[in-house]
Amino acid sequence: MVSIRDLHQQLINKDRSAIEIAQEALQRTKELEPKLRSFLRLTEEHALAQAKQVDAKISAGEDIGLLAGIPIGIKDNMCTQGIPTTCGSKILENFIPPFESTVTGRLAESGAVMVGKTNLDEFAMGSSTENSAYQVTANPWDLDRVPGGSSGGSAAAVAGGQCVVSLGSDTGGSIRQPAGLCGVVGLKPTYGLVSRYGLVAYASSLDQIGPFSRSVEDTAILLGAIAGYDPQDSTSLKVDVPDYTQYLKPDLKGVKVGVITETFGEGLDDEVKGVVETAIAQLKELGAEIQEISCPRFRYGLPTYYIIAPSEASANLARYDGVKYGFRKPDSNNLINMYTQTRAEGFGAEVKRRIMIGTYALSAGYYDAYYLKAQKVRTLIKQDFEAAFESVDVLVCPTSPTTAFKAGEKTDDPLSMYLSDLMTIPVNLAGLPGLSLPCGFDQKGLPIGLQIIGNVLREDQVLHTAYAYEQATQWHEKQPSL
């Protein structure tokens, strides 16, 4: 798959038109959809109309930005005006947003071409994209395996070459874990750097939108387009957005890299461990100073997350009651009956499980024991990271404890499914930026991801480290044979 810069050059040179690029992406997507099932909906007319506008600008001699004419996939939990947004749930099957999310609005202004809405675990709750109410997305490297979740459709679409870049959302690893399992680059920005206006909420203090791509440079370009202050999001940070591509340098002289010791223990697959250790040795060769760093409360991230996130989900998903919008169970004889039947039929098993966990954790008599205690542990996890960043610039660890597992393998065991996010969750709890990039393969030919974590708003250091590693290796050039 060509890069954003390559396509931009082709458009400026008039080697190809934006319409041709869009048609090619749509054609490839249609050909691969029966195998991959990455998309819930293709937006063909919309894409061609956007491409036509880009061509008109070029014909008129106007300057176009780097993203103009670039095919992009959007996770189906970001509101797109006039285009259905389902969140992978039956309860929103016929929901057509009357407004545009900030990120998709910014992309439209930049001239990017939306080819479709990608599949996800229902309401972004899951680690395998098997919780979607509509279809199970396949991993492009092995069609019998999952692409990870919850942004599995967005990761598979980029890995399979259906679009150049895509957007996902990350609440506990939902960008980085599928990026690791699909062998692409995925970045969760600092909490508040990218507006959440128009992102359908799962856990509001954790959710963050970010990019998927085939290269660190494309990630930097896409992040620059979606980042920045938005008055419509009360958690949005008032910060200047730099040109992230200026930090992409090929050596790491003077960069201090901390290896999180707690992530190399029990539960980590031996092949993943070996490949990640080799990647860390490569960082050292590039001039980085490597040191071991202990984040003693890192392992409490998982239980803390599974109290905080379901509690917030329980509150956020209360709005789906069959009254204002979305699915309503017909023929109910009273209001309570309508609420319960609508929610019973509209939500899938995992969403119901998390709503019940959250409602229990917030209930009288349990609030202090669970939710309040989880918030205190969250602060301790954050303090561990703060202490670590006093002595290093970035932290590294595996993205996921294993490579992609087979579809159906963990569906009956929610706890083993939750363990897939062991390495990614603490980053969300602390609001930090984290990136996964390909660093090798296991013996089955499945991708392995290296996670690079930065301090608050230090996306520049994360991208610099990732770029230097990427340029010194060939992993990002490998593509699945579809």
Q: Note whether 208 and 459 are within 8 A (CB).
A: no
**In this structure, what token pair is assigned to residue 335?**
């209001």
Tokens 């050039």 — which residue? Answer: 477
Which letter does DSSP use for residue 189 in this model?
P
Cα gap 426→139, rounded to integer Å: 25
422 neighbors 298 (Cβ within 8 angstroms): no
**Four-point Cα dihedral 408, 412, 414, 417, nearest 10:** -20
Tokens standing for residue 124: 């972004």
Residue 41 to residue 73: CA distance in whole angstroms:
10
Contact predicate 235/199, CB 8 Å: no
Number of neighbouring beta carbons within 10 Å of residue 44: 15
Residue 314 bears catalytic tag: no
Active-site residue identified among 101, 110, 127, 150: 150
User: Is 215 a residue of the active site?
Assistant: no
Q: Angle at CA 425, nearest 5°, toward 454 and 373?
A: 110
Q: Choosing from 17, 38, 75, 314, which is the catalytic residue?
A: 75
Cα separation, 217 vs 185, in Å, equals 10
Q: Residue 286 burial (CB < 10 Å; 0-12/13-18/19+)?
A: middle
User: Among candidates 163, 157, 210, 155, which has minimal Cα distance to 184?
Assistant: 155
| 273 classed as catalytic | no
Q: In whole angstroms, how far apart are CA 345 and each of 94, 150, 328, 330, 349?
A: 15, 21, 9, 11, 10
Residues 6+ apart with CB under 8 A from 125: 131, 150, 202, 313, 350, 351, 354
Nearest to 192 by CA among 161, 148, 238: 238
Checking phi first, is residue 339 left (phi over 0); if not, alpha (psi -120 to 50) or beta?
alpha
Q: What is the DSSP string of 115-169?
A: EEEE--SGGG--SSS---SS--PPBTTBTTB---SSSHHHHHHHHTTSSSEEEEE
Residue of 38, 128, 166, 174 with catalytic role: 174
CA dihedral 17, 22, 24, 30 (to 10 degrees): -170
**Active-site annotation, residues:** 75, 150, 174
